[in-house]
């Protein structure tokens, strides 16, 4: 394990990317760097003037895992330009979170994490997921003085009972994640590959993902956006309802109207636009 320095990574702000609500296993260190876990690995990332520095990584892992995970081959500058060109409101939202990148997260982890996210708040979601990992995930090793755990495998959660999960404090969601894990196992590798590979149309993937227990329209759209590479997905939660009401004058109950507007205005990048809106709205709250 060693350090890796990446110069010239554009449009990547660690705080904005890790604290925009898309991921739950990245935590800020005292020095301002972030330590995170994905794909059974733990790395630490520091912001540098023109890029980033990564600790506890191998060059092979960078190429096979992290380049894709951080979406480094996507040109966010051109996406931001395309979005701003047709709509000046989104242009202002982009200024708040111009360094957001949409991570490409693992399917099963994203599925379970966003089932847990329903009617829940981000600090508690993170706590629940850490409980799950430390109770049922494989040990990765010690890093910065703490034992680190991978996200549990589907085959492990599928065999649990709600009682086994009581210490994780999932509340009524425990039964959903057990059932969803069983459904995931029952899908089989081939079907899962079809969903994750990107060959299937968004509508069809959405319908398939919504079959999971505990997954409704909002959670499904998050899974498509944050894991299944469907950047046109537009998750609508309470924060997006608020920001759409405030910036575009929608009635907060008009979900269908918002979805239609997002598709028409933001097109294939609706999900990325959604992240800028979400982040700008939450920034405002914390001021």
Minimum distance between the CB of residue 54 and DNA, rounded to whole angstroms?
A: 23
- In terms of CB distance, is 6 or 83 closer to DNA? 83
Contact status: 196 vs DNA (CB under 7 A) = no
Contact status: 22 vs DNA (CB under 7 A) = yes
The Cα-based distances of 97 to 53, 89, 94, 117 in angstroms read: 21, 14, 5, 22
Minimum distance between the CB of residue 260 and DNA, rounded to whole angstroms?
A: 13
Per-residue binder mask for DNA (CB under 7 A), 154-193, x = binder: ------------x--xxxx---x-----------------
Tokens of 224: 């498509």
Other Cβ atoms less than 10 A from the Cβ of 283: the count is 15
Contact status: 272 vs DNA (CB under 7 A) = no
> Residue 222's closest CA among 21, 72, 38, 80?
21
Helix (H) or strand (E) holding 152: none
What are residue 119's phi and psi, to 5 degrees? 50, 45
Distance, in Å, from the CA atom of 236 to the CA atom of 220, rounded to the nearest integer, reads 10
Residue 104, SS3?
Answer: coil
- In terms of CB distance, is 36 or 235 closer to DNA? 235
- In terms of CB distance, is 205 or 220 closer to DNA? 220
Per-residue binder mask for DNA (CB under 7 A), 97-126, x = binder: -----------------x--xxxxxxxxx-
Choose, by CB under 7 A, the member of 4, 215, 262, 273 that binds DNA: 215
Contact status: 28 vs DNA (CB under 7 A) = no
> Residue 71's closest CA among 114, 10, 117?
10
């Amino acid at each position: 394990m060693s350090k890796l320095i990446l110069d010239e990574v554009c449009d990547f702000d660690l705080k904005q990317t890790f604290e925009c609500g898309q991921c739950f296993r990245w935590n800020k260190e005292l020095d301002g760097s972030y330590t995170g876990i994905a794909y059974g690995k733990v790395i630490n990332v520091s912001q540098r003037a023109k890029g980033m520095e990564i600790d506890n990584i191998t060059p092979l892992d960078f190429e096979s895992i992290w380049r894709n995970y951080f979406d480094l081959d996507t040109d966010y500058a051109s996406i931001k330009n395309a979005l701003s060109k047709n709509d000046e409101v989104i242009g202002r939202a982009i200024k708040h979170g111009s360094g957001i990148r949409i991570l490409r997260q693992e399917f099963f982890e994203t599925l379970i994490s966003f089932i847990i996210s329903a009617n829940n708040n981000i600090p508690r979601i993170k706590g629940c997921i850490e409980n799950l990992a430390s109770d049922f995930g494989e040990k990765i090793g010690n890093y910065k003085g703490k034992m680190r755990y991978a996200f549990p495998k589907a085959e492990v959660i599928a065999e649990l009972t709600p009682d086994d999960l009581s210490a994780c404090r999932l509340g009524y969601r425990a039964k959903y994640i057990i059932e969803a894990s069983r459904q995931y196992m029952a899908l089989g590798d081939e079907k899962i590959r079809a969903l994750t590979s990107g060959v299937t149309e968004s509508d069809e993937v959405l319908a398939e993902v919504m079959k999971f227990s505990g997954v409704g329209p909002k959670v499904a759209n998050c899974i498509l956006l944050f894991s299944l590479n469907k950047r046109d997905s537009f998750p609508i939660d309470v924060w997006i309802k608020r920001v759409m009401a405030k910036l575009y004058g929608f009635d907060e109950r008009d979900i269908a109207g918002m979805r239609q507007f997002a598709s028409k205005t933001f097109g294939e990048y609706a999900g990325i636009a959604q992240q800028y809106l979400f982040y700008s709205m939450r920034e405002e709250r914390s001021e």
